[in-house]
Amino acid sequence: MKIRLHHIFYFVFGLLITSCGKDFLNVEPTNASNAGDAIKAPQDAQVIINGIMRAMTSSDYYGRNFIMYGDAKGGDLTIYSAGRGLDALYTFNHSITTNSYSGYWSQIYFCLLQVNNLIENIEKLKTAGTAEGFDEYEGEALTLRALMYFDLVRLYGKPYNFDKTAWGVPNITSVLKPFDKPLRNTVEENYRQIMADLIKAAPLLSKEVNNSYINYYGNLALQARVNLYMNNPAAALSAAEEIINSGKYTLYTPGNWATSWTSQFGSESIFELVMLTGEADLGSSSLGYYLRRKGDGGGAAAGWFGASDGFLNRLKQDTSDVRWSVMAADELSTTAKPRLGSCYKYSGNTSHVGDKGSQSAVNIKVIRLSEVYLIAAEAALATDKEKAAGYLNAIRKRSPNLAPATAATVTMDMILDERSKELFCEGHRFFDMIRLNKQITFNDEFVGTITTRPKTIDRSYYKIILPISQDEINRNRGLEAQQNPGYN
Domains in the chain, CATH or no CATH each:
6-205+411-478 (1.25.40.390), 283-362 (no CATH)
> Across-strand partners of 273?
364
pLDDT category, 37, cuts 50, 70, 90? low
List Cβ neighbours of 299 (8 Å cut-off, separation of 6 or more): none
Nearest to 225 by CA among 164, 270, 258: 270
Question: Pairing mode, if any, of strands 327-328 and 342-343?
Answer: antiparallel
Q: At what angle do helices 233-246 and 216-229 cross, to 10 degrees?
A: 150
Q: What is the pLDDT of residues 197-243, one digit of tens each?
A: 999 999 999 999 987 899 999 999 999 999 999 999 999 999 999 99
Classify strands 306-307 and 77-78 as parallel, antiparallel or unpaired: antiparallel
Name every residue whose Cβ is closer than 8 Å to that of residue 403 and which is 6 or more positions away in sequence.
409
Judge whether 167 and 157 are in contact, CB under 8 Å: yes
Q: What is the pLDDT of residue 390?
A: 98
Nearest to 424, CA basis, from 352, 285, 298, 325: 325
Cα–Cα distance for residue pair 140/443, rounded to 1 Å: 40
Task: Give the per-residue pLDDT at 15.
Answer: 36
State the DSSP H helix or E strand holding residue 371, giving kind and residue range, or none if neither. helix 369-380
Whether 265 has a pLDDT exceeding 50, the answer reads yes
Q: How far is CA 87 from CA 78, 93, 154, 404, 452, in A?
A: 10, 8, 20, 38, 11
The whole-angstrom separation of Cα 291 and Cα 347 is 9
Q: How many CB atoms lie within 10 A of CB 413?
A: 10
> From the CB of residue 210, how many other CB atoms can be counted at a distance below 10 Å?
17
E-strand spans in 198-252? none
Compute the C-alpha angle 73/355/87, nearest 5°. Answer: 20
* Mean predicted lDDT score pLDDT of the chain: 91
pLDDT tens per residue across span 152-208: 999 999 999 999 999 999 999 999 888 899 999 999 999 999 999 999 999 999 999
Give the pLDDT confidence score for residue 112 in this predicted structure. Answer: 97
Flag whether pLDDT at 371 surpasses 50.
yes
- The tens digit of pLDDT for each residue in 295-318 reads 998 777 877 899 999 999 999 999
The helix/strand/coil state of 127 is helix
Burial annotation 456-487 (CB, 10 A radius, 16+ → b, else e): ebebeeebbbbbbbbbbbeebeebeebbbeeb
Judge whether 57 and 275 are in contact, CB under 8 Å.
yes
- What is the pTM for the complete model shown? 0.93
